[in-house]
Structure 1
Amino acid sequence: MNNKNKRFLIALLRFHGDIVLTIPMISEIKRNFPNAVIDFLVYEGTGAILHDDPRINNILEANYSSKSNFLMRIVKEIKLLRELKSSNYDYGVFLTTQWRMALMARCLGKAKTAGVDDTKRKKSGWVDSFSAIFPEAGKKHIIERNLSSLEALDLEVNFNRIESKIFISKNTVDSVKELIKDYSIGKKYCVLHPVSRREVKQWKKEYFVEVIDYFSNKGFKVVMSSGPEISEITYLNEIESMCKTKLINLGGKTSLIQLAELIKNAHFFIALDSVASHLGAAVGARGLALFGPSKVENWRPWSEDISVISRSNKEELCSLHGHLEGKRRQCLCYISSQRVINEIGKLIN
């Protein structure tokens, strides 16, 4: 095998949870090329979960298209394209289907590149921008789809031993120990991450309250977590105000990598279809994920230690959302708090 320092670019312009699902790609690239240099291209702020990973050389950031004025966006995009062009990559993997990905792939020059075979991207302007096209997930997991992009570039991929472990530095471990000490969390605790970036993936606040009160009365320290957004912190504060028992509200107080370490040492966690579920899988935690509109076969946490409650289409549509169109009618209202309590009981017993 040629152990030359092959240079890889993995480009994924989506959300934090999607970034977690690329970690097995790093392991497979390193298995093929132990000395590979791996760069990531992600949206601003979404690469934080990779900061502790020593296998990553550099994390490049792209602007969200809708979050900057047109002129500033063009200037930054040109600067980014020039940086990509001068980086002399040997391989480029483009995991999302924005048209800017095609332009970025063309900037890599002689590099072997792979793009997604998307139903809306059948024209030559897309297909001809890449050396190879790999299929969308279909009924496979997104992790398997991501790995198939490496197969399209003629790398060997071991689908029977997918390594999805997240790297957590000693500094992060120590900071979480201090957090646990400062908030008197102790050892018998669970983590609830009751927020998702998309409203259609939310569960009822009242149900979270019932679950929190139940496990608090069972002797668990219940820790709630969220991102730094004001809307998420406010949501957690509202849940806390409704509880009859005390909890530890860490809304906005942890980084994603700290959250991963916190979940790792918990007795269990409960989360929605969000980054927290994927973090739980990546650290080998036990837990429960609640799914509504997302396809479970594509997006479930990659772990046998995490249960999933999902809509089977046998449940009745609720009165609040059943009349709505599209994904909004696939709400989580059909999941009762007792069902969640029972499922966690199976996990911890």
Structure 2
Amino acid sequence: MKLERFIQLWTHRYHKYSHILKANLFGYRSGLHFKTVKSKLKQGQKLVAVIRTEHFGDIVAAEPISRYVRSLYPDAYMVWFVKPAFNELVGFNPAIDEVLQEFCVTQREVLLKTGVFDEVFQLQFKNNNHCPKCQVYVENPVAEQRDINIYNYFDYGNLLEVFAQSGGLIPAKTAFPADDQPRLYLQKKHTEKVDSLHLDKKFIVIHCQSNYAPKDWPAKQWEKLVQWLADQYDYEIVEIGLKSNLEIKAGAYRNLCGQLSILETAEVIRRASFFIGLDSGPSHLGNATGTFGIVLMGSLNNFPQYNPYSGSYGRQENAFFVRQEGMPCSALSFEFVREKVASVLNSRKVEKQN
């Protein structure tokens, strides 16, 4: 074996096994912490875990579960497991007593094996939680029993319903039995940050890239849509997201990509006249903040047509889905999207005037 390859191999092994060691240590330490928490609870008071660690749109979609579990266990001490990057989505939720910022799934596995929790609701479906460094999957026994997996999950309903079924909170293939409108818990610091941006009073917020390429619409099409919006309407066009892939010359366009936290982004969306974007995390923020959404969607993997949303977006009371059954989002023509967007903007304008 060449020296360079030998060094690469052992560097990889060092990072892998140090990561696994750290995950185990975190798991045992968390177990001790929650044993201490449990020892201080009143007699009969349960320690409950709810696990939905990623992605941020999924966490927003699952928010009604926090209130539903609270209604089932009003006196319980509820802990929500989440990845550190998404802590703010659950950290301000009044239904949740504590947030566990999960290092990786191995930490979770070690912690759950302690048996410290009286009730555990794992909201992930099969094949859905993986640590690439530990090279392990941690499976949810309820999802395995019900065969809810990455290939068929939308056969079980919208994301909220799928998560509630995966957690064993409701029977398989049933509707969510409580308030299904996702909520966010925006704080003063989020509004102050957006105040400092001095956005126009009338603006449309757009989101043009998801974390999964099959859901995307080509950048050149977005550029044409932004230019058309700027030419035809008196709105500022504000792009949000992690990073822009657009080249826009229109004066009405403003790029805020990479400048905001998740909840600051939610506050921008909340203030917008319309949200135009993809089936991705920010569209769930639009649903939770009450901004009318125009969502570009297409077929997805095994699903020729699907609906990920609950609440007002799910019922299309406060949203319009731009799609053609069986066609991926990337294949939607500019003319088709422009026509649908124009029909929504013009009809909503007439409604406001009346």
Could you state the TM-score of these two structures normalised by the residue count of structure 2? 0.70
SS in 2 for 1:45: helix
Q: 2:195 aligns with which of 177, 180, 193?
A: 177
**Cα distance between partner residues in 1 of 2:112 and 2:119:** 12
Q: Is the 8 A contact 1:193 1:272 kept in 2?
A: yes
Q: 2:102 aligns with which of 61, 84, 87?
A: 61
Shift in Å at residue 252 of structure 1? 0.3
Match of 2:160 in 1: 143
SS in 2 for 1:226: coil
Distance 1:176 1:168, change over 3 A: same
Shift in Å at residue 174 of structure 1? 2.1
Matched, 1:297 2:306: yes
Match of 1:331 in 2: 330
Q: 1:306 aligns with which of 314, 319, 334?
A: 319
Matched, 1:33 2:73: yes
Q: Is the 8 A contact 2:121 2:169 kept in 1?
A: no
Match of 1:89 in 2: 117
Distance 1:267 1:173, change over 3 A: same
Match of 1:24 in 2: 64
Superposed CA offset, 1:181-201 (max 9, x none): 2xxx12111100111111221
Could you state the TM-score of these two structures normalised by the residue count of structure 1? 0.70
Q: Is the 8 A contact 2:215 2:279 kept in 1?
A: yes
The amino acid of 2:99's aligned partner reads: N
The amino acid of 1:338's aligned partner reads: R
Segments of structure 1 that go 5 or more residues without pairing to the other structure are: 65-76, 107-112, 122-134, 316-328
Greater CA deviation, 218-227 or 28-37?
A: 28-37
Match of 2:186 in 1: 168
Shift in Å at residue 160 of structure 1? 5.4
**Cα distance between partner residues in 2 of 1:33 and 1:6:** 8
**Cα distance between partner residues in 1 of 2:190 and 2:306:** 32
Q: 2:202 aligns with which of 185, 188, 195?
A: 188
Distance 1:283 1:99, change over 3 A: closer
Q: Is the 8 A contact 2:160 2:176 kept in 1?
A: no
Compare the two structures and name the one with the higher strand fraction. 1
Match of 1:345 in 2: 346
Distance 1:4 1:207, change over 3 A: farther
Greater CA deviation, 93-102 or 205-214?
A: 93-102
Matched, 1:219 2:272: no
Shift in Å at residue 20 of structure 1? 1.2
Greater CA deviation, 14-23 or 333-342?
A: 333-342
User: Where in structure 2 are the equivalents of 1:105-254 lying within 5 Å?
Assistant: 114-116=142-144, 117-118=146-147, 136-148=153-165, 149-152=167-170, 159=177, 161-179=179-197, 181=198, 185-217=199-231, 218-227=233-242, 232-233=243-244, 235=245, 239=246, 241-254=247-260
Shift in Å at residue 335 of structure 1? 5.2
Greater CA deviation, 23-32 or 167-176?
A: 167-176
Kindly name which structure, 1 or 2, has the bigger radius of gyration based on alpha carbons: 2
Match of 1:72 in 2: none
**Cα distance between partner residues in 2 of 1:99 and 1:297:** 19
The amino acid of 2:91's aligned partner reads: H
Aligned positions, number: 288
Among all aligned residue pairs of Structure 1 and Structure 2, give the percentage whose two residues are the same amino acid: 19
The amino acid of 2:100's aligned partner reads: I
Shift in Å at residue 221 of structure 1? 1.2
Greater CA deviation, 187-196 or 135-144?
A: 135-144
Q: Is the 8 A contact 2:235 2:252 kept in 1?
A: no
Greater CA deviation, 200-209 or 80-89?
A: 80-89
**Cα distance between partner residues in 2 of 1:58 and 1:35:** 17
Shift in Å at residue 21 of structure 1? 1.3
**Cα distance between partner residues in 2 of 1:211 and 1:99:** 35
Shift in Å at residue 298 of structure 1? 3.9
**Cα distance between partner residues in 2 of 1:164 and 1:3:** 32
**Cα distance between partner residues in 1 of 2:263 and 2:128:** 31
Shift in Å at residue 105 of structure 1? 8.0
